Amino acid sequence: MSDLDDFKATYFDECSELLTELEEQFAAIEAGERDAGRLNAVFRAIHSIKGGAGAFGFSALVGFAHAYETLLDYVRDGRIEMSDDVVTLCIRANDIVADHVKAAQTGEALPADYGMDEKARFDALARGESVAEDEEGGEPLEEFDIEFVPVMVHIEAAEDETHESDAFEAAPMAFEPGHWEIHFRPHQALYARANDPLLLFRELAALGEMSVRAVIGEIPALADFEPFAVYCSWEITLISPSLTEAMIREVFEFVDGDCDIAVAQLGGGLAPLDVAPAQSLPLEPGLSDLLALADDEVEALLDFALESAPVAEPAESVEEAPEPSFAALAETIKPSAPIAVARVPVEALKPATPVPESEDGERRNVGVQSIRVDLDKVDRVVNMVGELVITQSMLTQQMDETLRARYTELVRGLEVLAQTTRGLQDSVMAIRAQPVKSVFSRMPRLVRELAQKTGKKIKLETIGENTEIDKTVIEQLSDPLTHMIRNSADHGIEAPDLRTARGKADTGTIRLSAEQAGGNILIIVEDDGGGINRERVLQVARDKGIVAADVNPSDEQIDQLIFAPGFSTASEVSDISGRGVGMDVVLSNIKKIGGSVHVRSWTGKGTRMTLRLPLTLAVLDVMLVKVGGSPYVVPLSSIVETIQCSRAAFERVPSGGKVLQVRGEYVQVIDLAERFDMLTETEADNRFVVLCEAEGSHKVALIVDDIIGQQQVVIKSLEENFERVDGIAGGTILGDGNVALIVDVQGLKTTIMHKTAA
């Protein structure tokens, strides 16, 4: 039971990946990349979803996926043109597939007719094209309607001799064209991936008249039976005048690499395949080629075949039949599966066992191998590596000059340790890194829907979607991004006529980009809409008491107000978003993962929202400083430069605050000792300024007593055992075991802003 649950969980994991893949593919297809590669990828994804769904008995999903697949197949054949309408229909179909998957996962039932309209449209599309030019083209469609009527499979009972001769009577069919012989031998991996040969047979049965025979000669005595070994292979005869090899291969596409497949067309004059197959295989040149038997094996087989000739004699084959126990055993094991007489001597079957096609074998080796790992396990490793990095840097720091001179071996060892640690850290981080594509790919659809709902014309551009970022960060990114894009589409981009009136193109653009900037990832959502209506925002903020009546915030501060909790310009609330509703959620979500949000707006030109996210949540590059005798660390990513202090450089502004002039620019000064209420014993002129860039363009100068150096730290939570402290982003443990606090540059700046504003 739990095994099945595990399989299901894996299947749903895969489904979510495949659905993401579908989104990606269709984003590209929409953009005009309508090549066969994309289409094949889509086809494979749908096919995989269908395959698993069949194994678990999600029949509604199978039904819809099958119809969809048929349509895709027609598009692939060129019978249906990949027009915009078809693309739109496919995108809708993806949603339906996703809904079906979700329903299967949650166990909720969808309406019985869910997706039927689309299914009917597939139908119509396919028929419209095919009936006109090709009578047969329409046939598979008719067929898919009845696809889930139980498929008749010819079962040839093992122990019954008369069936033998029945099969023989069928043999003359082999001389007709369109008569195919398939040898299908699954590997263990096929079952491990929860595939069921029965589904493949059903699919084959849809292609023509089929008979299936199981080759069970390899099934050992019960005592030797290994439950997970694969003993069974199948021979399938398939008859249909229009059948091509490609059509057959396609059925097996999904299990490609997990089984051995031999497909051959039966011409005239061949020994009927009904005869012990392993003997007849080498006699049939096509099959032996396909199986790529080793030369000596072929020879051995030929010898065998000659010795036992005439193999085709029915009487002969009956004599060769194995003890009935095999068949009986087979029947008990798999009573529902098609069973045929196993008349194949065990030694003769051997060559038919996997002698992988060399090409095939290579492909399997080249393919990316992966395992699924519980994220918790990776996290544990990441944490441990973090601690290791810190211990290593502590060791290095404690090596003073005398020790260095004395223990050169030790120094060398430490250097190697440093290198290995760094490498280990990078590798561990890489395990969790994922391209932001997985989130970005959901956005085109969102924009499309928003455009439809709002009646606007919106185009989405994505840049840097291969930028990699920690998986835990990515998971937290989807909601904020959705909110931001909704916000841009709903409030940023103007209606087409207004845009034209403002002299802009009637189609608005939302640009979504990701880039790595030092130890951070910047994700920017930018639109070329009307910008934030500051008057209204300020008015609402005043009405709600977020900003006092006598305070005049700067433009930048007003823009930032849309992130204030409870802020919403009520008059603008729509069913899509209310600016403010959700934006405070954006802020809190992003803060939770150690990031920050900044918004800038240009009236009439657009709005840009910047998310700054840490590359990883585990290790931070910092500058270690001292303030009032206590260690503090400032994230290196926010530091612009450090300056030796000079009292003369500070000037007081009327509000009582200090500013520092740095190359012609006035920068707000925060004396950390003062701010943190600590006593500093350092002389004023011996102190240092750490110039930081908080979110946005504004810089802030932090005065510290001493700068100690750079290092890496593991972020520890202060809230775990205490509570959040203003101006402090968390804590970390230094090499000497002491705790250092992490300065929250952005937080300091905002509290100062509030203080001056209040």
Nearer to another protein, 601 or 732 (CB): 732
Q: Please report whether residue 708 would count as binding another protein according to CB under 8 A.
A: no
Query: Binding another protein by CB under 8 A: which of 116, 678, 708, 753?
Result: 678
Cβ atoms of residues 623 and 634 within 8 Å: yes
Provide the 8-state DSSP code for 730. E
DSSP letters, 412-441, are HHHHHHHHHHHHHHHHHHHHHEEETHHHHT
Q: Nearest approach, Cβ of 582 to another protein (angstroms)?
A: 28
Q: Is residue 721 at the binding interface for another protein, with CB under 8 A as the rule?
A: yes
Residue 730: exposure state from Cβ atoms within 10 A (0-12, 13-18, ≥19): buried
Query: Taking Cα atoms as reference points, which of 704, 522, 719, 518 lies closest to residue 621?
Result: 518
The stretch near another protein (CB under 8 A) out of 20-28, 313-321, 441-449, 722-730 is 722-730
Q: Map the footprint of another protein across residues 599-658, applying CB under 8 A.
A: 628, 630-631
CA distance 207 to 218: 29
Minimum Å gap between C-beta 256 and another protein is 49
Span of 116-124, 189-197, 516-524, 729-737 interacting with another protein by CB under 8 A: 729-737
Cβ-count burial of 491 within 10 angstroms (0-12 exposed, 13-18 middle, 19+ buried)? Answer: buried
Indicate whether 391 belongs to the interface with another protein (CB under 8 A): no
- Decide: is 362 part of the binding site for another protein (CB under 8 A): no
Distance CA 758, CA 750 (A): 12
Q: Least distance from C-beta 488 to another protein, angstroms?
A: 36
Shortest Å, Cβ 705 to another protein? 14
Pick from 469, 422, 390, 400: nearest CA to 633: 390
Locate 731 and state its tokens.
């804590």
Q: Is 757 in the site for another protein (CB under 8 A)?
A: no
- Which of 604, 622, 623, 617 shows the shortest CA–CA distance to 532? 604
Nearest in space to 196 (alpha carbons), one of 19, 62, 364: 62
Task: Report the residue from 58, 71, 676, 690 that binds another protein according to the rule CB under 8 A.
Answer: 676
Contact (CB, 8 A) for 129 and 82: no
**Sole binder of another protein in the list 261, 741, 746, 747 (CB under 8 A):** 741
Cβ pair 273, 236 in contact under 8 A: no
Nearer to another protein, 228 or 722 (CB): 722
Cβ–Cβ < 8 Å for 389, 428: no
Is residue 716 close enough to count as binding another protein by CB under 8 A? yes
Minimum distance from CB of 739 to another protein (Å)?
4
Q: Could you give the 3-state DSSP secondary structure of residue 721?
A: coil
* Rounded CA separation 171/164 (Å): 11
By CB under 8 A, tell whether 545 contacts another protein: no
* Beta bridge partner(s), residue 704: 688
The interface region with another protein, picked from 222-230, 460-468, 565-573, 724-732 by CB under 8 A, is: 724-732
Distance (Å) of CA 688 to CA 601, 675, 691: 34, 15, 10
Residue 392 CB, nearest approach to another protein (Å): 16
3-class DSSP assignment, residue 513: strand
Site size toward another protein (CB under 8 A) is: 26
Q: Which of residues 371-390 bind another protein (CB under 8 A)?
A: 387
Tell me if 725 contacts another protein by CB under 8 A.
yes
CB 612, min distance to another protein, A:
24
Least CB distance to another protein at residue 383 (A): 9
For β-strands 658-662 and 468-470, DSSP reports them as unpaired
The verdict on 739 binding another protein (CB under 8 A) reads yes
The distance of closest approach from Cβ of residue 708 to another protein in the complex, given in angstroms and rounded to an integer, is: 14
Name the residue nearer to another protein (CB basis): 443 or 704. Answer: 704
Least Cβ distance, residue 727 to another protein (angstroms):
7
Q: Does 723 bind another protein (CB under 8 A)?
A: yes
Residues that bind another protein (CB under 8 A): 387, 628, 630-631, 675-678, 716-718, 720-723, 725-728, 731, 733, 737-741
